[in-house]
Amino acid sequence: MRTKERMEKSAARHKIQSNMAKRVLLYGIRKEYSLKELPAIGKGIYGKPYFPEYPEICFNYSHADAGILCGIAETPLGVDIERLIHPTERLIRAVCHENEKKMLLAIEDPAVQIRYFSKIWTAKESYLKCIGTGIRQKLSNLDLSEVLDGKTYEEVYHFFFLDGEDFQAAVCLKTKKMLSNLSVIYIEENENNNL
Which of 120, 125, 131 minimizes the C-alpha distance to 156?
Answer: 131
Which residues of the chain, if any, have pLDDT below 70? 1, 178-195
Q: How far is CA 48 from CA 7, 59, 62, 83, in A?
A: 24, 9, 11, 22
CA distance 176 to 84: 30
CA distance 159 to 145: 12
Q: Quote the pLDDT of residue 9.
A: 83
CA distance 17 to 63: 6
Q: Cα 75 to the chain's mean position, in Å?
A: 15
Q: Write the DSSP symbol of residue 65.
A: T
Q: Quote the pLDDT of residue 117.
A: 98
- Angle between helix axes 110-130 and 98-105 (nearest 10 degrees) is 160
What's the helix, strand, coil split of the chain in %, to 5?
Answer: 40, 20, 35
Beta bridge partners of 34: none
CA distance 71 to 82: 15
